[in-house]
Chain A
Amino acid sequence: MIGKGLLKGLGITAKHAFEREITQQYPEERPFLQDRFRGSLAYDYPKCIACGLCIKACPNNVLTLETYKDEDTKKKKVDSYSIDLQYCLFCNLCVEICPTDTLYFTHEFELTTDNREGIKKIYHRPPELVPAGKTAAEPKQAEKTPSTSETGDKRLKQVEAMKTALLKTPAKILGKILPTEEDVAIMSELMQGDDKILAKLAQLMIEDRDKAARVAAAWVKKGRVSGPPPGEVAPVAVAAQGRVAERPSPGEIPPAAASVAEEEEGGTGPPAPTGLSEAEVKRLKQVEAMKTALLKTPAKILAKILPAEKDVAIMSELMQGDDKILAKLAQLMIEDRDKAARVAAAWVAREKKLHQGEGGKTP
């Protein structure tokens, strides 16, 4: 009979109208992610042996590795490692090839940013590994292994020419990127005092004028506030790329959690060491108080940000073992409770993962 099919279809839709929905209300309900889910690509600094296999495996030139030679062991070590997630295919080839499980996929899937720079992840060598007093000499030893083979001689020559020009007529060139004469003066002083700054600036001037302007401005600001030895300032230049911009130095982050903290940190960082305003002093005091409280009653405070008791135990152990973690946590607790929760969860997760790794279970 004609119309039977129509009625059957109506029956099916009517039946489903009274069934429970199958959709997830996303921001409130979090999706269940499988173990192997490939979210954001992450990097674990201490494990990396700088072999460069991942870079060879990557189809899309997402990864960049910069290495230096360790003077004591004569081995290549990682200076900085960057993941340009905007080009990532999430194909797993780098993770599979990595001999030490340095690279891994997290379950973080909300990767959108509102600018291109924010999507790049950069991991730096922890400051403990930067030999003291040798920073100025280091760039000459630093060996670069860029992923692209395009850094030719031409570029180097240009940079050299720029360096000479910068030393000869600093005012003229710096005037292009710095707004006031005062800034130019400070910058030229800085630059003449430190070869590294000079080199970096020359390079940036060739590569990206805007960035050079930004970096120079940051240096000037820094130079004006405290006038620290130029060697310590230098990392800013490197850090100015990507999302870790304007972070004074990665020193506040415990090495074990370096990578995680980098991910979580965004643009903010601990306050500058000198020239503190009143509000900053007050906040420092609050942080100190929080630290004491954390050590006294860890369970009570941590319970506010961590869901499980087990996590709290792990975290309090971590915190007691490492002053830096404690400091960081206290600061975050004061500044941004949500972020503190996220960072703490990440620390705990990493700790758990490390222990699992020791247990011999292969991921």
Chain B
Amino acid sequence: MENLFVNLARALSVWLQHLGLSPFGSDLLLLVLQWTAIILIITLNVLILVWLERKISGFMQERLGPNRLGPFGCFQTIADTLKLLTKEDIIPSQTDRLIFKTAPMFFIIVSVLLYAVIPMGRDMAVVDLNVGLFYFISVGSLTTIAILMAGWASNNKWSLLGAMRSVAQMISYEIPLAFSLLGVVMITGSLNLSAIVAAQSHIWFIILQPVAFVTFFIAATAELNRGPFDMPEAEQELTAGAFTEYSGMRWALFFLAEYTNLAAVSALAATLFFGGWQGPLLPSWIWIIIKTYLIMLVFMWLKWTFPRIRMDHLMSLSWKVLIPVSLLNILVTGVGIEIFKGMRW
């Protein structure tokens, strides 16, 4: 069980070479297969997540949530997706059509790219980059461009306002996000996510870096555009923000991408602070799934409890609180590491 997927990949690779493909060709084909698997898993995962979110919000509000289609309404999202797929594709006449059409695709591509470096089990990162964390943060910040594209191309004031908020928010929150991860990197001495997981074999970094986790979590919520920081959408103010003019499957792509991001960031949090795939008894890939889902539950819990923060409060929270705190955390971590070293010697 433990090495199910790894062995599967190895067997496939051997079989492909056996068929007469060059090692490069078989690797390429394997990569394609891996990506297909990831995309499949992501789509399935989003179906589950949407259902879960509706269910959880329902429970919190003393409702049942979806309960008509299938056991506990679990086929509801599938029906919704089918509905979205069959809807008319409306593109308003005054839009910048090319950008309008590419924005959702760009968003989803960026979100899927995030999964390249996350180790989904022992030896189960698609690409085990040595600058994995750096890659994750830099690719993750690209989603802003997709939202900006959507907002700009829609030619709608609500959309533009949503897009601008998104840009401001991303720029502000990239910094505390990166700073809060620095503490982890300093302890590990590596940007490689697998190495970071390996470094947590004795103690999870949430215990060593609690402050970093809190700042990371807040910044990540903002990065994900989730409540209480869902500025670009801001249904109550901006109707649907950057996505106002989108409908049908194009809108659904944004939705899909947001949930994909949510899962990716939660997986990253699990990797950095909760020991990644490490855990007793169960296979590693099950452990990361469990941890990711628990973190996502917390995200949902927050969203359905808190009101939305105001835009300027959001900015001041980032610049006046999160950045100083995360900087301080780097300082403390550095001093702590030195002391630790000194004690050992």
- Cβ-defined partner of B64 (8 Å) among A12, A14, A17, A21: A21
Determine whether the beta carbon of A25 is less than 8 Å from that of B62: no
**What is the CA–CA distance of A20 and B59 in the complex, to the nearest angstrom?**
8
Q: Do the beta carbons of A21 and B305 come within 8 Å of each other?
A: no
Contacting pair B62 A16 (CB below 8 A) = yes
A132 CB-CB contact with B under 8 Å = no
Tell whether, in the assembled complex, residue B62 and residue A10 are in contact, meaning their CB atoms are under 8 Å apart.
no
| Residues of chain B within 8 A of A354, CB atoms compared | none
Partner of B304, one of A6, A13, A20: A13
Q: Do residues B305 and A16 form an inter-chain contact, with CB atoms below 8 A?
A: no
| CB of B56 within 8 Å of the partner chain | yes
The chain A residue sitting closest to B307, CB to CB, is A9
If A23-B64, A25-B64, A25-B67 touch, whether A17 touches B59 (CB-CB below 8 Å) is yes
Chain B residues contacting A18 (CB-CB under 8 Å) are 59
Contact call B306/A9, Cβ cutoff below 8 A:
yes
Residue-wise, chain B 47-72 has the 8 Å CB interface mask toward A (1 for contact) of: 00000000010111111100100000
- With A25-B64, A25-B67 as given contacts, are A10 and B302 in contact (CB-CB < 8 Å)? yes
Instruction: Decide: A10 near B305, CB < 8 A? Known: A17-B56, A17-B59.
Output: yes
Residue of chain B at shortest CB distance from A3: B214
Contacts of B301 in A (CB 8 A): 10, 13-14
**Of B58, B59, B63, B306, which one neighbours A6 at CB under 8 angstroms?**
B306
A9 is contacted by which of B56, B63, B67, B305 (Cβ under 8 Å)? B305
Interface flag for A19 (CB, 8 Å) = yes
Q: Are B62's CB and A23's CB within 8 A?
A: yes
For residue B62, which residues in chain A have a CB less than 8 angstroms away from its CB?
Answer: 16, 19-23
Decide if A13 touches B305 in the complex (CB within 8 Å).
yes
> Which residues from chain A contact B305 at a C-beta distance below 8 Å?
9-10, 12-13
Most chain-A CB neighbours within 10 Å: which of B56, B67, B301, B305? B305
Most chain A beta carbons < 10 A, residue from B58, B62, B63, B306: B62
Which residues 1-38 in A have Cβ within 8 Å of B in the complex?
Answer: 6, 9-10, 12-14, 16-23, 25
List of B residues within 8 angstroms of A25 by Cβ: 64, 67
Interface of B is mostly: loop
A-facing residues in B61-102 (Cβ within 8 Å)? 61-64, 67
Taking CB atoms, residues of chain A closer than 8 Å to B63 are 21-23
* Band of interface residues on B: 10 to 19
Please name all residues of chain A whose beta carbon is closer than 8 Å to the beta carbon of B306 when the two chains form the complex.
6, 9
Number of interface residues of A (CB under 8 A): 15
Q: Mark B286-330, 1 if CB is under 8 A from A, else 0.
A: 000000000000000110111000000000000000000000000
- Binary contact track B215-237/A, C-beta < 8 Å → 1, others 0: 00000000000000000000000
Asked whether A16 and B64 contact (CB < 8 A) given A9-B305, A9-B306, A10-B301, the answer is no
**Cβ contacts under 8 Å, A17 to chain B:** 56, 59-60
Residue of B nearest to A27 (CB): B68
Q: Which residue of B lies closest to A14 (CB)?
A: B301
Within the assembled complex, what's the spacing in Å between the Cα atoms of A25 and B306?
28
Contacts of B56 in A (CB 8 A): 17
> What is the bound-complex CA distance between A23 and B59, given in angstroms?
11
The complex places the Cα of A19 from the Cα of B306 at a distance, in Å, of 20
**Residues of the B chain whose Cβ atoms lie less than 8 Å from the Cβ of A23:** 62-64
Q: Which of B60, B64, B67 contacts A13 (CB 8 A)?
A: B60
Which A residues from 251 to 284 make CB contacts under 8 A with B? Answer: none
- Please name the residue on chain B nearest to A15 by beta carbon: B60
| Closest CB in chain B relative to A31 CB, distance in Å | 16
A22 / chain B contacts, CB cutoff of 8 Å: 62-63
A2 CB to nearest chain B CB (Å): 10
A10–B305 Cα gap in the complex (Å)? 6
Report Cα–Cα, A258/B49, bound state, in Å: 55
* Chain A residues whose CB sits within 8 angstroms of the CB of B304 once the complex forms: 13
Nearest CB on A from B256, distance (A): 26
CA distance A16 to B306 in the complex (A): 15
- Bitwise, B157-185 to A at CB < 8 A (1) or not (0) is 00000000000000000000000000000
Chain B min CB distance to A21 (Å)? 5
> Chain A's nearest CB lies how many Å from the CB of B49?
17
Considering the chains assembled together, what is the distance between the CA atoms of A194 and B40 in angstroms?
76
A347 vs B305: C-alpha distance in the bound complex, in angstroms? 51
- Smallest CB-CB separation from A8: which chain B residue? B305
CA distance A25 to B59 in the complex (A): 14
- Find the residue from B59, B302, B306 having the highest chain A CB count within 10 A: B59
Provide the residues of chain A in CB contact with B302, threshold 8 Å: 10
| Contact present for A16 and B67 (CB under 8 Å) | no
From the candidates A6, A16, A20, name the one contacting B60 in the complex (CB within 8 A). Answer: A16
A8 CB, nearest partner CB in chain B, Å: 10
Distance of A25 Cα from B58 Cα, bound (Å)? 13
CB within 8 Å of A: which residues of B?
Answer: 56, 58-64, 67, 301-302, 304-306
8 shortest interchain CB distances as A-B pairs: A17-B59, A13-B305, A13-B60, A22-B62, A17-B60, A21-B64, A9-B305, A23-B63
Interchain residue pairs with CB less than 8 A apart (12): A9-B306, A10-B302, A13-B305, A16-B61, A17-B56, A17-B60, A18-B59, A19-B62, A21-B63, A22-B63, A23-B63, A25-B67
Task: Beyond A17-B59, A19-B62, list 20 extra A-B contacts (CB 8 Å).
Answer: A6-B306, A9-B305, A9-B306, A10-B302, A10-B305, A13-B301, A13-B305, A16-B60, A16-B61, A16-B62, A17-B56, A17-B60, A18-B59, A20-B62, A21-B58, A21-B63, A22-B63, A23-B62, A23-B63, A25-B64
